[in-house]
Structure 1
Amino acid sequence: MKPIAILLTATALSACSTGGDQPKEAQAPLHSRMLVLDTHLDTPLHFERAGWNFADRHSLADDMAQLDIPRMKDGNLDGGFFAIYTEQGPLTAKGYADALAFARDRSDLIDRTIAANSDAIAPALIAADALRLNKEGKLIAFKSMENSYPLGEDLSLLQEFYDKGLRLAGPVHSKDNQFADSATGEGRWKGLSPLGKQWVAEMNRLGIVIDASHSSDAAFDQILALSKYPILLSHSSLRSAFDHPRNLDEGRLKALAAKGGAMCISTIFMSPMNMSPARGELFGKYERIGSLSPAEQADLNRQWRDLDKTEALWAADFEDYMTMVLRAIEVGGVDHICFGADWDGGGGLPGIEDISALPKVTERLKDAGYSDADIEKMWSGNILRVLAAQGK
């Protein structure tokens, strides 16, 4: 670990978990005294919705979103990585151009939304920013990229997005692309493509954390071997909890830990995904919710909630989730576990349906015997350590 990483971790633990010398803070619930981050927030898809405001309180009874500023405060989610997600398209010049235009727009949308709510939340670029903003009472907005497909074959575009604040990115999503094989792809490259290996080097050069969630096992292995710096999995589950290619096996979790990285535990793929034709149709609408009118959005929410009553998306709940979390900690160690539930991207389970439930996770970790310092490592310290350990 670099000296700056040690300093940041120590500072985070002393500044955010103990409440310092302020008696009132020391008496507050444990979770509210910690710096809490999530590494994968898909909420930007809601930012362009007509009639939807990030600053307003929403509820699952009447809205699809699982995260907004009031509920961030309810669950003491101090911030995280807001994702530029781009759907996988054709590996053609037009496909790349369309995706790049979309990703640029989504990046700008994140910036505008954060700026419009600057009284409550502010952008962060380095680990020290998170500590500073938390001390100032501000929520924290890092920026990430889920799927590097929009870069096409031009790696110089990584510099553009870095300059726009990008600090975490994954090479691939649900299908193989020009950089890597997806965990749910066909295995075109048997891991990383030649361009994907160059992508790793450029990520390291710029100091952008590599996110291996969605990468195939072979791609994960090659990323781990090639990267000069620790990596994250921003939203992944354990394969021992449910055997799915999107999930990480315990051997690879140990390998990740040995290289200083961390796995941020998700709530997805802990069971088969019940993607019935009805749910698939609703998912298609959800992914384009920004183009729907307020009335269409309300109708989508009603249909989704009605379907939940007869066809649950996942056959798992909070108890199953915590069993997996505790196993992941046992395998990887407290220095290599973090959280990325996939809020607004398919995450959430009965008992942990939106971010207001996060204090329950802390309570269970405390009941399991983990110290306050170790719990805060998992909520934020490990993320900040990996971020600070990059080349810049």
Structure 2
Amino acid sequence: MSFHTVADTAPATSRAAAVELPLVIDGHNDLAWACREHHGYRVDGVGTGLPDLHTDLPRLRAGRVGGQFWSVWVDDETLHGAEQVTATLEQIDFVHRLAARYPDDLRLARTAAEARQAMRSGRIASLIGVEGGDQIDESLGVLRSYARLGARYMTLTWAQTIPWADSSTDEARSNGLSDFGREVVAEMNRIGMLVDLAHVSDATMSDALDVSTLPVLVSHSGARALCDHPRNVPDELIRRIGATGGVHMVAFVPSFVSQARRDWVVGGEHGEPPTVTVADVADHIEHVRDLAGVDAVGIGADYDGTGSMPHGLDDVSGYPRLLAELAGRGWSHADLDKVAHENVLRVLEASDPNHLTFLAGER
């Protein structure tokens, strides 16, 4: 089943001005933490508009968002141990309160079927992803508790290496996954929680692909061949993700998608930043498709998890411009469906039976 609508925002190219575009399920949005930091965890402003943030309901509607994995992230540089667990539970509570406050616009979804049902009803399917394995405080019981509360993926690390998994932006400790890290991945498979490989080191990514018996996702990263950033995925691992049925969801973060922007950041950010555009993001999407196939690529922007965004993708209203850009490059309706929502729903659906069995109390 596909979910289409005709774009009525300014397209990236006149060739696609009236193209029929699918609804988007985005893999990663940090609204929960942004509202913690700037709005005291209040949800009421989300419905009317939050001009200081990238995300609110009017712009989600303008952006044709049909589903969103809301990231529940914790700053592990300032919060530790049980503090992280508490903050994660607060983030999950925010997502539940948000959906309850706007029942005509949002619907909590745990499975692909529930996400599709929400989209059919005209609501935005609201899913939950935990952004960082340190947030389980080395407890499989905490991991399972997050899953019972609706979390459907966990990113194995954030920016710091943790005792059982190495991050892409920190020094290695386990040369990938430790024995406990492998146990975490196996338990995630058992309970139907998707293994998210954004942020992790290449060795951690490889180890997780070795251990996981179910398709994985990368919720928000680019392609390293186009932009040499450690947060991006090398070609050989993009191919492995595709070969094992996973999905690589491309981020919009300027320093992930533009080498010129990355060089400007590394060089100290002197002068005006190089412009990053919709076309730069589309290049990463096409690179993943060319390496791993059209079934392996999705969208995970990282709105409200970073500062500036590419021109034309400044906030969550911009997705139609990206899809119009791809349409202008010759992407078919069927392939736009895949990148917009079908691929991530397929990966979610592959783990749904395990998750439902887990929720039913069976082992």
TM-score for the superposition, normalised by structure 1: 0.80
Contact 1:39 1:235 in 2 (8 A): yes
* Superposed displacement of residue 150, structure 1: 1.9
Query: Equivalent residue for 1:379?
Result: 340
Instruction: Confirm whether residue 257 of structure 1 aligns to residue 247 of structure 2.
Output: no
Measure the CA separation in 2 of the matches of 1:355 and 1:205: 34
Q: 1: distance between equivalents of 2:281 and 2:349?
A: 29
Q: Structure 1: 5+ residue runs without aligned partners?
A: 1-11, 20-27, 280-306
Greater mean deviation of Cα atoms: 124-133 or 114-123: 114-123
The answer to whether residue 43 in structure 2 is matched with residue 55 in structure 1 is no
**Counterpart position of 1:39:** 27
Displacement of 1:36 in angstroms is: 1.2
> Which of 272, 280, 292 does residue 262 from structure 2 map onto?
272
2:298 counterpart letter in structure 1: C
1:230 aligns to 2:215 (yes or no)? yes
2-structure distance, mates of 1:106, 1:311: 35
Q: Deviations over 1:141-179 (max 9, x none)?
A: 000100021211211111111110000111101010023
Across the aligned residues of Structure 1 and Structure 2, the Cα RMSD in angstroms comes to 2.3
Structure 2: unaligned runs, 5 residues or longer? 7-17, 355-363
Matches of 1:383 and 1:105, distance apart in 2: 26
Q: 5 Å matches for 1:306-321? A: 311-312=272-273, 316-321=276-281
Q: Give the direction of change, closer, same or farther, for the CA distance of 1:136–1:273 in structure 2 (3 Å limit).
A: farther
Residue type of the partner of 1:138? Answer: R
Give the Cα separation in 2 of the matches to 1:73 and 1:101. 31
Tell me: CA distance 1:97–1:58, structure 2 relative to 1, closer, same or farther (3 Å).
Answer: closer
For the residue of structure 1 that corresponds to 2:140, the secondary structure is coil
Q: Distance in 1 between matches of 2:27 and 2:324?
A: 20
Alpha-carbon deviation of 1:240? 0.9
Which residue does the alignment assign to 1:354? 315
Q: In structure 2, the residue corresponding to 1:53 is in which secondary structure?
A: helix
Bigger radius of gyration, 1 or 2? 1
Q: How does 1:149-160 map to 2 (within 5 A)?
A: 149-160=134-145
Q: Deviations over 1:308-342 (max 9, x none)?
A: xx654x65322222222222221121100000011
Q: For residue 76 of structure 1, what is the aligned residue in structure 2?
A: 64
Contact 1:74 1:356 in 2 (8 A): yes
Q: Structure 2 counterpart of 1:105, which letter?
A: E
Matches of 2:193 and 2:287 in 1, distance apart? Answer: 29
> Which residue of the partner structure matches residue 323 of structure 1?
283
What CA distance in whole angstroms lies between the structure 2 residues aligned with 1:322 and 1:374? 13
Determine the structure 2 residue equivalent to 1:138.
123
2:110–2:127 CA contact under 8 A, matched in 1: yes
- Equivalent residues of 2:217, 2:248 under 8 A apart: yes
1:41-60 per-position Cα deviation (integer Å, ceiling 9, x unaligned): 1111233415761101244x
Stretch of structure 1 that moved more, 159-168 or 94-103:
94-103
Rate the CA distance shift 1:216–1:330 in 2: closer, same or farther, 3 A: same
Distance 2:121 2:31 in 1: 24
Which residue of structure 1 lines up, in the alignment, with residue 357 of structure 2? Answer: none
1:30 has 2:20 as partner? yes
Are the aligned partners of 1:47 and 1:53 in contact in 2 as well (CA < 8 Å)? no
In terms of mean alpha carbon deviation, does 163-172 or 363-372 score higher? 363-372
2:181 aligned partner: 196
Asked if structure 2 preserves the Cα contact closer than 8 Å seen for 1:47 and 1:113, the reply is: no
Give the residue type in structure 2 aligned to 1:55.
Answer: G
Cα separation, 1, equivalents of 2:72 and 2:46: 16
Q: 1:216 aligns with which of 177, 201, 208?
A: 201
Q: Using the alignment, how far apart are the partners of 1:243 and 1:275 within structure 2? A: 12
Greater than 3 Å deviation, 4+ residue runs: 273-276
- Cα distance between partner residues in 2 of 1:365 and 1:42: 25
Identity of matched residues, %: 29
Question: After alignment, is 235-244 or 343-352 more displaced?
Answer: 343-352
SS at match of 1:37: strand
Structure-1 residue corresponding to 2:9? none
Q: Which amino acid aligns with 1:350?
A: H
Distance 2:275 2:162 in 1: 30
Match among 292, 300, 311 for residue 340 of structure 1:
300
User: In the comparison of the two structures, how many residue pairs are matched?
Assistant: 332
SS of 2:26's equivalent in the other structure is strand
TM-score, L = length of structure 2: 0.86
1:196 CA drift (Å): 0.8
User: SS of the counterpart of 1:143?
Assistant: strand
